[in-house]
Chains A and B, each alone.
Chain A
Amino acid sequence: MLVGPPGCGKTMLSKRIPGIIPAWEGAEALETTSIHSLRRPGIGLMPFRPFRAPHHSINTAGMLGGGRPVLPGEVSLAHQGVLFLDEIAEYSRSVLEGLREPLEEGAVTIARAGGPVRYPANFQLIAAMNPCPCGYSGVQGSTCECTQAEVVRYRARISGPLLDRIDMFVFMQPVDPEVVSFVASRTSDAIRQRAEQAWSLVKKEDQNLVDSGKSLEHAGRPPWFSAEAEEMLNRSINSLRLSMRGRNRMMKVSRTIAALNGDHLVLPRHLSKALQYRPRWVS
């Protein structure tokens, strides 16, 4: 979830995401192409992961799937790709709450009299919103002009359960004019390679675990999570009001941060960086 004042680059950044996510393999492309062929007959094998950005006026059937015959919705068309919701607070309540199932299960099940229809929906959600109606709450160098009640009501549009399913909250500040004139220090290609390296590191580790007979869903501490980091996490659960789901998410985010640094073991410094991204409102 990208939160920031108007014009700080939330939409621009989100649209760059397709250029840096790891490429996909044939089997994954086949599954998503299958889903798309239900909406677009005659489609060929999709060369890139989907990037879906439905307008916030979309209804539940369009987002989750439905109609007769029951066709896949945007969440399924974004399978193994990205679903970008700009101005997420403007989407209807039922559409946003309907996202809880695919975010948790990776699929949607649409009930019909003739039987349920299930479509895969394992997407990466990227959402963008302002911190408050005027857009400047918590922004350096600006004052927020909203009343406390207005801010609370605005933020309540994203329910607690939905927030709990979002991995990372990123607060963005306005762009410094001097920064704009810098030449980019990293190209999209370099960033994508870094992401691919981190991803293959994690995949290889998981494959080793599976090969040695261990399951990926641990009750206890997974081998890639250090004891010191676990201690730190347990201490933080109460003070930071993390749910169990939130705890698992923090472990996964810290693992990604470690992998981006080429580290196999998650240490407290990786975890503390991950904790900065936990879902919370900064005023």
Chain B
Amino acid sequence: MGAVLRYSRLNGCSPAGMDTPPVLIEISIISGIPRHTVVGLANGAIREAMDRIRAAIAAVGLSFPRGAITINLAPADTRKEGSSFDLPIALGMLLADGQIECEHDVSSFVVMGELTLDGGVRSVRGVLPAIASASAVGITHFIVPEGNRNEALLLEDTHIHCVSHLAEAIDVVTGKRIPERPVQAQQRC
């Protein structure tokens, strides 16, 4: 009898430099004494994320997954920084735990956003360069904070979801929201 594999993956981004490729985020939950560990040279802001995520998940009426949670940020030998990993980790945890069902294959999405304790999504740095460098490696679907809307809609050939709350991000994943497609966004100034 095999244990159910509670696992999910999606992508995030660190705000450093102009051509940084997206970071692969993996979530794995195993039965055991509840604990959570973030690996992959994550800095302090990312390790603090777990407390914000715990409160935000409660704010949308879902529960923090029970078990030993491991969050891996790949590649494992580069430093990851910034507060934009809150949202993708929270979504990844809920997906791995089976509390939300994904309609789309979100493993190809890039998700960025800082969470507030009531589940809100705050704007983060570097959304535009993140979308540019992710597009360059073939990623077309993005979930970004509503506060970054102006810069997020500047690149063509992208599908952008601007969310202001964790509940809206969940709706994106469960297929209840359609993305915005920037059209001829570069105007002559």
Assess the B128–A39 pair: CB atoms within 8 A: no
Instruction: Flag A50-86 by CB within 8 Å of B: 1 or 0 each.
Output: 0000000000000000001111000000000000000
Partner of A69, one of B14, B41, B185: B14
B183 within 8 A of A: no
B111 within 8 A of A: no
Query: CA of A120 to CA of B185 in the docked complex: distance in angstroms?
Result: 22
Contacting residues, chain B, for A114 (C-beta < 8 A): 41, 78-79
Tell me whether chain A's interface is mostly helix, strand or loop, or mixed: loop
Task: Using CB atoms, name the residue of chain A closest to B124.
Answer: A41
B68 within 8 A of A: no
Query: CA of A69 to CA of B41 in the docked complex: distance in angstroms?
Result: 13
B125 within 8 A of A: yes
Question: In this complex, which of A24, A25, A34 has the most chain B Cβ atoms within 10 angstroms of its Cβ?
Answer: A34
Task: Using CB atoms, name the residue of chain A closest to B149.
Answer: A42
Question: In this complex, which of A24, A25, A29, A42 has the most chain B Cβ atoms within 10 angstroms of its Cβ?
Answer: A42
Contacting residues, chain B, for A118 (C-beta < 8 A): 17-19
Query: CA of A46 to CA of B189 in the docked complex: distance in angstroms?
Result: 8
Q: Within the complex, what minimum Cβ distance (angstroms) separates A113 from chain B?
A: 8
Tell me whether chain B's interface is mostly helix, strand or loop, or mixed: loop
User: When A25-B188, A41-B123, A43-B150 are in contact, do A115 and B78 touch as well, CB less than 8 Å?
Assistant: yes
A210 within 8 A of B: no
Contacting residues, chain A, for B188 (C-beta < 8 A): 23, 25-26
Partner of B127, one of A41, A45, A70, A117: A41
Query: CA of A239 to CA of B10 in the docked complex: distance in angstroms?
Result: 65
A227 within 8 A of B: no
A130 within 8 A of B: no
Within 8 A of A (CB), among B171-189: 185-189
Q: Within the complex, what minimum Cβ distance (angstroms) separates A151 from chain B?
A: 43
Partner of B43, one of A26, A29, A68, A120: A68
User: When A30-B186, A43-B150, A45-B186 are in contact, do A37 and B129 touch as well, CB less than 8 Å?
Assistant: yes
Assess the A26–B187 pair: CB atoms within 8 A: yes
Contacting residues, chain A, for B125 (C-beta < 8 A): 37-39, 41, 71
Query: CA of A34 to CA of B16 in the docked complex: distance in angstroms?
Result: 11
Query: CA of A49 to CA of B160 in the docked complex: distance in angstroms?
Result: 27
A35 within 8 A of B: yes
Partner of B129, one of A29, A34, A115: A34
| Given A45-B187, A71-B125, A117-B17, 9 additional A-B pairs, CB 8 A | A23-B188, A24-B189, A37-B129, A38-B126, A41-B147, A45-B151, A45-B154, A114-B41, A117-B16
Closest 5 A-B residue pairs measured CB to CB? A26-B186, A44-B150, A117-B17, A41-B123, A69-B16
